[in-house]
């Protein structure tokens, strides 16, 4: 619980102001905490007197030192009948390389799939010292049960210090399952990862709709697990000179252990590139007026070598499939460039795209909230501006 050192408290009231839950009251002679306190630590952070503390439990350094290595789940996807690592894996390996070097530990990629797994040497070219590969016919497609069992088996045997997943739909399905099986701490949707002076993984993530950032550590469980948003770290160019080491890891899986069955797959995505992987996104909102105008948006996206996306409003109108929806109830994206066309910027949308590196917004309403986060905001009618823009950037 929150401990207050009353003698050194000078009743400045900063803790009361900083409490996200309104749990602290500064009275005339002392501060009090009520049951709304969640021990989030915001007050401990701001107290100039260091009068506040939270008791935490400890783990022995010897215990933690038995775990070594930064491991990355190399999520693979089907491409032309083959299974190959997806883009976020290369981003994680590039950043994981710097974490592993800082720790003086190896970087290892774990690939799960069936006989169609290929292109795994690229994982080493991208920075991995080893690739551990589980091939099994029951890992033909993603299943929570099959992948949890295989990955947990590798992790339990290899005892890594850090385990990273891309925060993709399957990554967010698998990571909590593996973490719970092995009783490990897990941090979701990180946008920053670093190693502190004690060699701990410091995981930074947004919360409360991106209004606040939190840095999180995992002091007494190993591996320290995190899912990481795609497009946060840049993948470096692969180095084909790096040595390749791929080893097979046999797993036992039975059909009965996979308790879900695929009945049907319904493909609606036709735009090709996944929006969370696109470097440039041009995103349409209700301000585009009608579905036929989306052609302008699509042409701009293609002209820039990017992909088209959209807001929840136009998904609900049926203009585009949900696979292209940016936002809290859709996909969280963080491209290099995000062009919002006729999107007002409701918080649920902004949460899903505010980590974009550059944001351009076009909207008729000068007070649209999207302008608060735009690097370049243009007040005007997108339907008149886009044709001129397409002309202006003709190559």
Q: Is 88 helix (H, G, I), strand (E, B) or coil?
A: helix
What is the phi-psi region of residue 145: left when phi exceeds 0, alpha when psi lies from -120 to 50, beta otherwise? alpha
Q: What's the rounded Cα separation, in Å, for the pair 147 and 134?
A: 10
Residue 129 Cβ vs other proteins, minimum distance, rounded to whole Å: 27
Instruction: For residue 333, state whether it binds other proteins (rule: CB under 8 A).
Output: no
Return phi, psi of residue 162, to 5°: -135, 140
Residue 69 Cβ vs other proteins, minimum distance, rounded to whole Å: 19
Q: Are residues 360 and 340 in contact, defined by beta-carbon separation less than 8 angstroms?
A: yes
**Count of residues touching other proteins (by CB under 8 A):** 109
Q: Which of 214, 235, 244, 246 binds other proteins (CB under 8 A)?
A: 214
Q: Of all helices (H) and strands (E), which one includes residue 203? A: strand 201-207
Applying the rule CB under 8 A, the residues between 100 and 139 that interact with other proteins are none
Listed ranges 61-69, 242-250, 263-271, 283-291: which one lies at the site for other proteins (CB under 8 A): 263-271
Nearest Cα neighbor of 277 from 310, 234, 221, 247 is 234
Taking the least distance from each CB to other proteins, the nearer of 9 and 216 is 216
Residue 8 Cβ vs other proteins, minimum distance, rounded to whole Å: 20
Instruction: For residue 237, state whether it binds other proteins (rule: CB under 8 A).
Output: no
Other beta carbons within 10 Å of 259:
9
Collect contacts of 18-22 with beta carbons under 8 A, ≥24 apart.
18/42, 18/43, 18/45, 18/46, 19/43, 20/208, 20/212
Q: Which of 114, 121, 145, 236 binds other proteins (CB under 8 A)?
A: 145
Instruction: For residue 304, state whether it binds other proteins (rule: CB under 8 A).
Output: yes
Instruction: For residue 47, state whether it binds other proteins (rule: CB under 8 A).
Output: no
Query: Computed from CA positions of residues 14, 16, 21, 22, in that sequence, does the dihedral angle turn out positive or negative?
Result: negative
Taking the least distance from each CB to other proteins, the nearer of 133 and 326 is 326
Residue 36 Cβ vs other proteins, minimum distance, rounded to whole Å: 5
Listed ranges 113-121, 131-139, 247-255, 259-267: which one lies at the site for other proteins (CB under 8 A): 259-267
Taking the least distance from each CB to other proteins, the nearer of 36 and 159 is 36
Place of tokens 């088209």: 308
Instruction: For residue 82, state whether it binds other proteins (rule: CB under 8 A).
Output: no
Nearest Cα neighbor of 304 from 323, 333, 281, 334 is 281
Instruction: For residue 66, state whether it binds other proteins (rule: CB under 8 A).
Output: no
Listed ranges 35-43, 110-118, 236-244, 289-297: which one lies at the site for other proteins (CB under 8 A): 35-43
Q: Which of 35, 62, 80, 197 binds other proteins (CB under 8 A)?
A: 35
Instruction: For residue 267, state whether it binds other proteins (rule: CB under 8 A).
Output: yes
Dump the DSSP string for 295-312. Answer: HHHHHHHHHTT-EEEE-H
Q: Of all helices (H) and strands (E), which one includes residue 193? A: strand 192-195
Q: Which of 207, 235, 244, 246 binds other proteins (CB under 8 A)?
A: 207
Q: Are residues 363 and 342 in contact, defined by beta-carbon separation less than 8 angstroms?
A: yes
């Amino acid at each position: 619980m929150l401990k207050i050192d009353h003698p050194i408290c000078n009743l400045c009231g900063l803790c009361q102001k900083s409490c996200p839950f309104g749990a602290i009251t500064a009275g005339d002679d002392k501060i009090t905490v009520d049951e709304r306190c969640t021990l989030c630590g915001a007050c401990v952070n701001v107290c100039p007197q260091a009068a506040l503390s939270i008791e935490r439990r400890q783990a022995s350094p010897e215990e933690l030192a038995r775990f070594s290595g930064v491991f990355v789940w190399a999520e693979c996807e089907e491409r032309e009948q083959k299974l190959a690592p997806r883009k976020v894996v290369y981003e994680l390996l590039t950043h994981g390389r710097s974490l592993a070097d800082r720790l003086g530990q190896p970087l290892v990629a774990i690939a799960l799939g069936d006989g169609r797994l290929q292109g795994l040497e690229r994982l080493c070219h991208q920075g991995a010292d080893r690739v551990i590969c589980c091939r099994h016919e029951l890992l033909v497609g993603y299943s929570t049960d099959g992948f949890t069992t295989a990955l947990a088996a590798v992790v339990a045997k290899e005892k890594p210090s850090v385990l990273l997943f891309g925060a993709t739909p399957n990554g967010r399905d698998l990571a909590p399952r593996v973490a719970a099986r092995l009783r490990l701490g897990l941090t979701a949707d990180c946008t920053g990862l670093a190693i502190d002076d004690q060699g701990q993984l410091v995981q930074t993530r947004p919360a409360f709709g991106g209004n606040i950032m939190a840095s999180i550590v995992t002091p007494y469980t190993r591996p320290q697990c995190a899912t990481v948003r795609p497009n946060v770290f840049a993948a470096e160019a692969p180095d084909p000179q790096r040595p390749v080491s791929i080893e097979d890891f046999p797993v036992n899986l039975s059909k009965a252990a996979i308790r879900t069955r695929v009945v049907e797959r319904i493909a609606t995505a036709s735009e090709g590139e996944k929006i969370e992987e696109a470097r440039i996104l041009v995103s349409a909102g209700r301000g585009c007026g009608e579905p036929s105008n989306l052609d302008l948006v699509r042409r701009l996206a293609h002209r820039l070598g990017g992909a088209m996306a959209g807001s929840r409003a136009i998904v609900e109108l049926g203009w585009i499939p949900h696979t292209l929806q940016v936002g809290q109830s859709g996909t969280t994206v963080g491209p290099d460039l995000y062009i919002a066309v006729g999107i007002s910027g409701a918080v649920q949308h902004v949460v899903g795209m505010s980590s974009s590196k550059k944001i351009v917004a076009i909207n008729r309403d000068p007070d649209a909230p999207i302008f608060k986060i735009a690097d370049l905001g243009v007040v005007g009618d997108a339907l008149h501006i886009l044709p001129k823009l397409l002309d202006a950037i003709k190559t």
